[in-house]
Amino acid sequence: MDLYEYQGKELFRRHGIPVSAGRLATTPEEARSAADSLGSEVVVKAQVLTGGRGKAGGIKLADSPQEAEHHAREILGMDIRGHVVKKVWIEEASEIAKEYYLSLTFDRGAKKPLFMFTTQGGVDIEEVADKTPEALAKLHVDPLAGLQPYHARRLLFAAGIEEPGEQKQIAAIVEKLYAAFVAEDAMLCEINPLIVEPHGRVKALDSKFTVDDNALYRHPDVAEMRDLDAYPAEERAAREKGVTYVKLDGEVGILGNGAGLVMSTLDVIAQAGGRPANFCDLGGGGDAQGVVDALEVITPDPQVRSILFNVFGGITRCDEVAQGILDALGRMEIAQPIVVRLDGTNADEGRQILADASPPNLHVEETMLSAARRAVELAGH
Ligand code: GDP
Ligand code: MN
């Protein structure tokens, strides 16, 4: 679960990482009174679960409460990469002398938490990793031994932090970030930028905080931070129906059984020159209800122009899935063309069932690649 900047900063604050004082606002008037209570200069920040808000015009400095209100009016309702701004965070403005970058995430290959730190903050970290990899200091932490103070010093040394005041403050932030990461069952904690103010104080100006969904039961306070409004309607419907679903931004709706198969289906759609509209995993079941639930989740999405069923029968039998698809078609009106590829247990029987019924707008393909090509073609490519 991704947290908003203001929520991540609240966790930072609880763990002793310095952040600016701020208040949340959902209307321009609230923004004005928030700015009024915070004093002099503030920054109005769009709260959306995506990065690059600054570039998109979602972050603006204001000299007065009136100006904060004006900026909030502009920013609220703004669409930032598909995320509509419903809340703004009003924060005491900071003066920035330097912008650094600090993150902690899992390196799955090494099976260890990984710190990354660079003095080239504020920009896209991918760009730093790409253009000046030597400027990106990395440090793995042994999860059993935990973080030792010399680790933090080594990380700062590798990134070229020489100023003693900065060394001391950033080393403390590194230790607190590690403690926060472990205590909150985080998957990612990113501070970009970590700023140095002109008089030398270091603080977190932004926050990206992702908590492991599977550990949320241990953190009722964090679980409560989930904002259902932030999820697209389809994702909410999927959550309610228990369908594994992730919205993507292409045109071909994908339904498969098993995460591995669905992921390779995404690849094959790309190979066929199309773009997947979603990731939808039917799981083990292929019964009519499961198929109806999944179709109900994906078909209302106006971006979906065609649908590809990619099912490999193992324990799930293809004839059952075929019957499930027919039952689903009988129960609901579906505008988009559907391509079906069945393989594995009882695939022939499954295909026969579909051929016999031959519902309009349903196309059966033999292979994953031909099915993907057909679905892409039907999506209008
Ligand atoms: P992002 O664009 O979504 O990563 O949002 P950030 O919170 O990182 O803000 C983007 C940029 O806005 C920062 O890198 C800063 O340059 C600028 N910014 C944000 N807050 C302040 C502030 O309090 N004072 C000043 N001067 N600039 C700020
Ligand atoms: Mn940022």
Question: What secondary structure does DSSP assign to 149-177, as a single string?
Answer: HHHHHHHHHHHT---HHHHHHHHHHHHHH
Residue 283 in this model has a pLDDT that exceeds 70: yes
pLDDT in tens, 200-251: 999 999 999 999 999 999 999 999 998 777 677 788 888 788 888 999 999 9
* 328: confidence class by pLDDT, cuts 50, 70, 90: confident
Task: Say which ligand is closest to the CA of 191.
Answer: 2
pTM: predicted TM-score of the whole model, two decimal places: 0.75
Task: Say which ligand is closest to the CA of 92.
Answer: 1
User: In the CATH scheme, what is the code of domain 98-223?
Assistant: 3.30.470.20
Task: Say which ligand is closest to the CA of 197.
Answer: 1
- Among 9, 41, 45, 96, the mutation site with the greatest number of ligand 1 atoms within 8 A of its Cβ is 96
What is the reported pLDDT for 314?
Answer: 84
Give the angle 313-319-322 at the CA atoms, nearest 5°. Answer: 100
Residue 284 in this model has a pLDDT that exceeds 70: no
Least confident of 1-15, 162-176, 225-239: 225-239
What is the reported pLDDT for 123?
Answer: 76
Mean pLDDT (whole number) for 295-316: 91
**What is the average pLDDT score of the chain?**
93
Residue 39 in this model has a pLDDT that exceeds 90: no
Q: Where are the domains of the chain?
A: 21-92, 98-223, 231-378
* Range 21-92 classified under CATH 3.30.1490.20: yes
Cα dihedral: 87, 1, 217, 108 (round 10):
-150
**Residue 162 has which token pair?**
């020489």
* 37: confidence class by pLDDT, cuts 50, 70, 90: very high
Least confident of 96-110, 130-144, 312-326, 333-347: 312-326
**Residue 342 has which token pair?**
């069945």
Helix axes 149-159, 164-183, angle to 10 degrees: 120
Architecture field, domain 231-378: 3-Layer(aba) Sandwich (3.40)
- 241 within 8 A of 265, measured Cβ to Cβ: no
In ligand 1, the atom with minimum distance to the C-alpha of 43 is: 23
Nearest CA to ligand 1 atom 8: 206
**CA-wise closest residue to 186 among 175, 194, 177, 196:** 177
pLDDT in tens, 47-76: 999 989 999 999 999 999 999 999 999 999
Percent of the chain surpassing pLDDT 70: 99
Residue 15 in this model has a pLDDT that exceeds 90: yes
Ligand 1 centroid–CA 99 distance in Å is 9
**CA-wise closest residue to 7 among 151, 290, 206, 142:** 206
Percent of the chain surpassing pLDDT 90: 78
Residues with a beta carbon under 5 angstroms from ion ligand 2: 192, 206
**CA-wise closest residue to 205 among 56, 43, 62, 67:** 43
What is the reported pLDDT for 291?
Answer: 86
What is the reported pLDDT for 286?
Answer: 61
Strands laid side by side in the 22-25 sheet: 22-25, 88-92, 42-46, 59-62
CA–CA distance, 309 with 351 (Å, rounded to integer): 12
Mean pLDDT (whole number) for 31-45: 95
What is the reported pLDDT for 381?
Answer: 64
Please indicate whether residue 85 or residue 232 has the higher confidence score (pLDDT): 85
Ligand 1 site: residues with CB under 6 angstroms? Answer: 43, 51-54, 59, 61, 93-94, 96, 99, 122, 192-193, 205-206
pLDDT in tens, 185-202: 999 999 999 999 999 999
Give catalytic residues, as residue numbers. 101, 190
